[in-house]
Amino acid sequence: MTSPTTTQDRPGPGQQTEELTGAEIVVRALRDEGVEYVFGYPGGAVLYIYDKLAQEDAVKHILVRHEQAAVHAADAYSRVTGKVGVVLVTSGPGATNAVTGIATAYMDSVPLVVITGQVPVALIGNDAFQEVDTVGITRPCTKHNFLVKDVRDLASTLKTAFYLAATGRPGPVLVDIPKDVTSHKAAYHYPEKITLRSYKPTVKGHSGQVRKAMQIITGAQRPMFYTGGGIILGNASEALRKLVRTLGAPITHTLMGLGAYPASDRQFLGMLGMHGTYEANMAVQHCDVLVALGARFDDRVTGNLAKFAPHARIVHVDVDPSSISKNVRVDVPVVGDLQQVLLEMNHMLEENDQRNDPQAMQTWWAQIKEWRDRDCLHYNQDDRVIKPQFVVQKLFELTEGNAIVTSDVGQHQMWAAQFYGFDRPRRWVNSGGLGTMGFGLPAAMGAQVAEPDSTVVCITGDGSIQMNIQELSTCLQYRLPVKVACLNNHYLGMVRQWQEFFYENRYAMSYVDALPDFVKLAEAYGHVGLRAQTPADVEPVIREALRLKDRMVFMDFQVDPTENVYPMVPAGAALSEMILV
Amino acid sequence: MTMRHIISILLENEAGALSRVAGLFSARGYNIEAMTVAPTHDPSISRMTVATRGSDEIMEQVLKQLNKLVEVVRVHDLTEGPHIERELMLVKVHAMGPDREEVKRLSDIFRGRIIDVTDRSYTMELTGTGEKLDAFIQSLDPGMVIEVVRSGASAISRGAKAI
């Protein structure tokens, strides 16, 4: 059976309300939502939308070379600006290509609105050309999704999508729009506010719980703060700094949380977890009160759960109740918006003089100093082979710690996290939860779009960069002067490291033979390529790249192929059971 | 220790809502013994009843994860308080010769009703707890049973209040 797909509700004579096509509604809604950039790729099912989008000046479009990259770019745009990232792709393969990006954003709780085209309503379920069950495929990797079958629901659905994406624990929301819906007409009304009876995120923490948490924290002999991406997403860095400084307590971050507290501050012990610092992991294992803020006790953070923080009473603040007591049972749970809860905690500190026992804190810091003196991130840079850590350290020095750094996934990601000290939030953009190779370059594009005047460095490896290398073309089209720093070791380095440690040096399929000449490749795409072969080349190459402010530069660093990431907590071991250099 | 729980879920009566709940259980490895769903007196809301098993920790997560679904309006673990559980079963059995009377008697004992008759078979309708329905099936000679259809548990709390 087929149903008519032509426009039915054209405005009659004398009708007052302005009627728009679905495509016009989409574009108008984006404008009314204040969306500046859409990252996308056109195709049959979204042609009406693209036709109208091209006529709208307020909403600019970045044409990527693969839909996965569109989502990563929008994701990074969101992480850097704090706004909702917007993606527009077509049906079928457009949607399936976007799935990896959507899952990446979902795991890291990044607010996105992803608009996908769909075949006309009458064809849904008929195995039509470029048809796929997009809402079915994306249901487990979106915060929510919608299929809009009636143009009259379109504006309110888009508003709801933005509302859901940005509130509570943020996340990607997908809106699937059949092609005929974009040609049908309806009165345009974009609601100011959405209320849903089934969705009421908790914002304010329970005051009794917050007070109880503060009592435990200030009563601790050996307090330790452990904070994650929630602090950054919740714009709670400032409140966190005040709290931690007032208490004088040590603090560590997860991979997702870097930048929340200044890395250059003495109270910061570095990242914790599988490749965390010795001092951070030891402090977690020996503290008597662990304060987890906007973190979710991921397996890469906790190591062996049964042996995690064995002496600690745990305070956990998170906006998502399901994150609390999921992996680790906590003693004082607080559900609420991080910023609000931390402001309340600071307020309580101002009102009373409850503080940790100074004597105990002195002993605790003396212990931490001993751990810190192990200098667990130490490496030796000779004058023959470039150490990858050295490259990151030089990047940090020469950008004065001010760059936005994106990364891919693997060894280079860990070195970036260990050696680039982030003093501000929203400067470090990486795929922490899903661990998506190919994230770095498109993420750098999104970050550069968000901050055209900032230096954006993509720290990557020879494996990851090739998973979205086509985006070099996008960089040229929009003159995005991204600086790629490829730590080229001719291996899938993290795989090789695990094979060395746990598979008796059998390097199964981790050596990457026949790599392209990245310098020539960059040049072929219209960019600048530079290569560093020896340690002496590193600084001049970086200086030259940074000097070329308006150019995209690909820096190919030929680094030590056998270097490993240390410290390392083997999977299943306790955090204190680290392999050190 | 794993215990049986009956969870009542009020959710928006929208396409895909059922699939979200079912998908959540499979994606997170939660057990489903039975699941029923139908609209309530408010046609915009469906009520789903899920019978599941899990430790206290798992159940806490099940409830939290269900609450997190955008279309879920309310979640309640009925096993936390007094409640009534009923399941509907339709059973078709061979009923010939001396068995015919025997089946009728058994059905009466279990307060079943015969709702369809042929010269060779009876179809019966029984309601009760899952255990009662199990007991009825066990009391029949396995060779007699032609077909069994069970609705899965429906449940409601005792007292005057809604969940």
Q: How far is CA A258 from CA A82, A112, A255, A394, in A?
A: 16, 21, 6, 19
pLDDT band at A6 (very low <50, low <70, confident <90, very high): very low
- Cα A266–A269–A274 angle (5° rounding)? 165
Q: Residue B163: its pLDDT value, please? A: 87
Q: Residue A211: its pLDDT value, please? A: 96
Residue B2 CB coordination number (10 Å)? 12
What residue in A sits closest to B62 (Cα-Cα)?
A322
Smallest CA–CA separation between A533 and chain B, in Å?
Answer: 47
B26 three-state secondary structure: helix
What gap in Å lies between CA A404 and CA B116, rounded to an integer?
A: 74
Q: Residue A5: its pLDDT value, please? A: 36
Would residue A179 show up in a list of annotated catalytic residues for this protein? yes
Would residue A209 show up in a list of annotated catalytic residues for this protein? no
Residues B42-65: pLDDT tens digits? 999 999 999 999 999 999 999 999
Residues A131-156: pLDDT tens digits? 999 999 999 999 999 999 999 999 99
* Residue reference for tokens 């979640």: B75
What mean pLDDT value characterizes chain A? Answer: 95
What residue in B sits closest to A160 (Cα-Cα)?
B70
Residues A7-30: pLDDT tens digits? 334 444 444 578 999 999 999 999
Query: Of B21, B24, B48, B68, which to mutate for an interface test with A (greatest number of A Cβ within 10 Å)?
Result: B68
* φ, ψ for residue B119, nearest 5 deg: -70, -10
Residues A186-205: pLDDT tens digits? 999 999 999 999 999 878 99
CB contact under 8 A, B70 and A147: no
A215 pLDDT exceeds 50? yes
Nearest partner of A575 among A290, A297, A302, judged by Cα: A302
Would residue A129 show up in a list of annotated catalytic residues for this protein? yes
Q: Which of B16, B64, B73 sits opposite A135 (nearest CB)?
A: B16
Query: Would the ipTM clear 0.90, i.e. be above it?
Result: yes
Sheet holding A85-89, edge to edge: A60-63, A37-40, A85-89, A112-118, A172-178, A144-147
Q: Residue A228: its pLDDT value, please? A: 98
A227 pLDDT exceeds 80? yes
Residues A447-490: pLDDT tens digits? 999 999 999 999 999 999 999 999 999 999 999 999 999 999 99
Q: Do A42 and A50 touch, CB atoms closer than 8 A?
A: yes
Nearest partner of A389 among A399, A374, A379, A402, judged by Cα: A379
Nearest partner of A326 among B25, B58, B68, judged by Cα: B58
A64 pLDDT exceeds 60? yes
What residue in B sits closest to A170 (Cα-Cα)?
B68
Smallest CA–CA separation between A326 and chain B, in Å?
Answer: 7
Smallest CA–CA separation between A324 and chain B, in Å?
Answer: 9
Q: Do A59 and A88 touch, CB atoms closer than 8 A?
A: no
Residue A247 in contact with partner chain B when CB distance is under 8 A: no
Q: Report the pLDDT averaged over residues B32-50.
A: 96
A580 pLDDT exceeds 80? yes
Q: Which residues of B touch A321 (CB under 8 A)?
A: 64, 67-68
Nearest partner of A498 among A434, A436, A571, A559, judged by Cα: A571
Nearest partner of A389 among A565, A555, A578, judged by Cα: A565
Provide the number of CB pairs (under 8 Å) joining chain A to chain B: 37
**Catalytic member of A33, A36, A130, A221:** A130
Is 0.90 topped by the overall pTM?
yes
A2 pLDDT exceeds 50? no
**Catalytic member of A24, A67, A279, A471:** A67
Q: Residue A16: its pLDDT value, please? A: 56
Q: Which of A140, A164, A320 sits opposite B27 (nearest CB)?
A: A140
> DSSP string spanning A210-260?
HHHHHHHHHT-SSEEEEE-HHHHHTT-HHHHHHHHHHHT--EEE-GGGTTS
Q: How far is CA A424 from CA A187, A229, A260, A405, in A?
A: 45, 13, 6, 12
Smallest CA–CA separation between A261 and chain B, in Å?
Answer: 30
pLDDT band at A97 (very low <50, low <70, confident <90, very high): very high
Residues 6+ apart with CB under 8 A from A184: A7, A8, A9, A21, A22, A151
Residues in chain A: 581
> DSSP string spanning A548-561?
-TTS-EEEEEEB-T
